[in-house]
Chains A and B, each alone.
Chain A
Amino acid sequence: MFEKMRVKTKVIDSGKSGLDTQTLEVNVGPQHPSTHGVFRMTIVLDGEVVKSLRPVMGYLHRNHEQIAENITYSASMPYTDRLDYFNSMSNNQAWAMTVEQLAEVEIPDRAEYIRVIMSELTRLVNHVSVIGFLLNDMGAFFTPTLFAFREREKVLDVFEAVSGSRMMCNYLRFGGVNRDLTDDQLGQIKKIVADFPAFLDEFETLLAQNEIVCMRCQNVGVLPAELAINASITGPMLRASGVNYDIRKVDQYSVYDRFEFKIPLGEKGDVYDRYYVRMLEMRESLKILNQALEQIEPGPFMAPKVPACLKNPRNFKPPVGEAYGRVEAPKGELGFYVVSDGSKEPWRYHVRAPSFINLTVLEAMCIGYKLADAIVILGSIDIVLGEVDR
């Protein structure tokens, strides 16, 4: 096994071009900083050009789905935090929405607004970090990442004050949220939202016009719209290819129908478009946040009938049936499919993880580009291995 992990050379094809060339099979990862976790790519190279690429997953497999089938519905909530550990709030929202659909629970308005505010804040956090990491992969070592993390930390401070934990929030409950937002915390969020555009302007000046960034990103890793649709790619990656599909607009779940915002689209579907769509999406998120913070009104943050079940989760037994709930998570469509047999535990539980499905087109995007481009293309997909391997 250890031998296999190491970079090895193997003669596969030689003498085709008349020159004495040979292809190399290179293993990138699983312990490699540019693979964003324990992810391995087996790349066949001809010179520096990628001939074929095989993603190898499963190093972080934690049996998430099987665990969830053996614990109560509400006990799955902290486990969903650990799927995409950058966006625990939107993971919580997807799971809560699925179970609410199954049990037909009505959610009070304030709770919906809090959920929207939290999931848009996670979108900011995710997109600034992924842009930072993309630049890391390109060799701008940690300056952009730390600028991004400085802003991210402010949002995580709010998460900690509200939910008790910076990243593993476990904040949402079926029928509402765990605890109310105080006026103090709302003020804190308002300040973050007011300060963020200045940071975004700065961040854009730092990168968007940078010649090296443009040369490395433009016309690299092009994903045609047809292929993106066929491979059921979702999220910013799909929109960078020019397909107008955003679940916030399509489903209009939660209270998203009350806000005015646009869906930024790319043209070519290259790495640069994927970077720039995320940049624009953050600005749209700020618009949503501003409107939500204006519209939020005091009121109950929990559906009146549910708390009794939550105090004793083993009494929470949704009716027999199935449900599929989905949200527009920062990485794409995050869906939970759950089948209930009327007992306290789900009979079947499945996660549609956007990172995993977006990863399937990696080979198609990388072939013909250089090894260094493959790293950048992987960075632009925005994967989190907690969600890929589950």
Chain B
Amino acid sequence: MFFGLGILRGMNITLMNFIRSYTRKRGSGEIGALTTVQYPEERLPEKEKFRNFPFLIYDDKPEDLRCVACDICAQDCPPRCIYIVKETDEAGKPMKKPAVFDIDFTVCMNCGICEEVCPFDAIFMDHEFEIADSDRHDKLLYHRDDLLKTNEHFHKIRPNDGREVDTRLAEAKEAKAKKDEARKKAAEAKAAAKAKAEAEKATEAKEDKPPETEKESDPQ
């Protein structure tokens, strides 16, 4: 073995890689195949679980978003980048709706904890990453209306999660409807029982006392 053999062997590897970069198909995953993607023109397929910045979801109209301003995400956000103020009605009573829902994207660290802790499936992580702006104070502070996105958008970026969340919500709705119905029925039964009891009481009273109508019917 002579001095320089190791270098030549190494150079051979470099040469082989150079040649393979032309012969093997780009992105095929084979050893030596190029993996670079010419970014703005070409894009990698998005992974479903990919997470970037949060958005607020709404079903039909932007006015009735799923968020109820419970403040859980704001309190569990590690860098505390969410700021929520509840909406109040005319009487000053807080409503289940956010009047202010601000997320500072310069602070957000894309951890996805807000999505995890939300009990109402109202906030999810988006796939949008091209949000660069020259003004970091104003433009990157996203307000409620900037954050709103439809359920269709959610289904588009994360089809499996979208289906899962929808079935979960439908089940919850059904369960709630059933519960409501049961409660309604119970209330009705209670009301009927009460009415019956009252009616019984009234009939008992009727038997004891002379009917009041007769009294009233006596004009003078």
Contact = CB atoms under 8 A, between A and B. Distances in A.
B135 to A, nearest CB: 25
Interface in B112-134: 112-113, 116-117, 119, 125
A211 B113 contact: no
B112 A170 contact: yes
Given A79-B78, A160-B50, A205-B9, A313 B4 contact: no
Given A191-B29, A198-B31, A312-B72, A164 B125 contact: yes
A211 B51 contact: no
A311 to B, nearest CB: 6
B151 interface: no
B19 interface: no
A206 B9 CA distance: 7
Interface in B29-55: 29, 31, 35, 47-51
A72 B76 contact: yes
Contacts of B78: 71, 75-76, 78-79
Contacts of A212: 7
Contact of B10 (A150, A163, A170, A205): A205
B113 A78 contact: yes
B113 A164 contact: no
B111 interface: yes
Report, as a range, how many residues of chain B touch the other chain.
20 to 34
Contacts of B72: 312
Contacts of B119: 311
A210 B17 contact: no
B111 to A, nearest CB: 4
Contact of A168 (B77, B111, B113): B111
A202 interface: yes
A314 B112 contact: no
A77 B109 CA distance: 12
B6 A211 contact: yes
A205 B9 CA distance: 7
Interface residues of A, number: 44
A147 interface: yes
A199 interface: yes
Contacts of B125: 164
Nearest to B16: A202
Contact of A313 (B10, B47, B50, B117): B117
Interface string A200-233: 0010011111111110000000000000000000
Contacts of B3: 211
Interface in A134-189: 143, 147, 150, 153-154, 160-165, 168, 170, 178-179
A210 B6 contact: yes
A160 B50 CA distance: 6
A267 interface: no
A210 B10 contact: yes
Nearest to A207: B10
Contacts of B109: 78, 82, 168
B111 A78 contact: yes
B47 A161 contact: yes
A280 interface: no
Contact of B110 (A74, A165, A206, A214): A165
Which 5 A/B pairs are nearest by Cβ-Cβ distance? A209-B6, A78-B111, A164-B51, A75-B78, A164-B49
Interface of A: 71-72, 74-79, 82, 143, 147, 150, 153-154, 160-165, 168, 170, 178-179, 191, 195, 198-199, 202, 205-214, 310-314
17 contacts: A72-B76, A76-B78, A78-B78, A150-B35, A160-B49, A161-B48, A162-B49, A164-B50, A164-B51, A178-B116, A195-B29, A195-B31, A206-B10, A206-B14, A211-B6, A212-B7, A311-B117
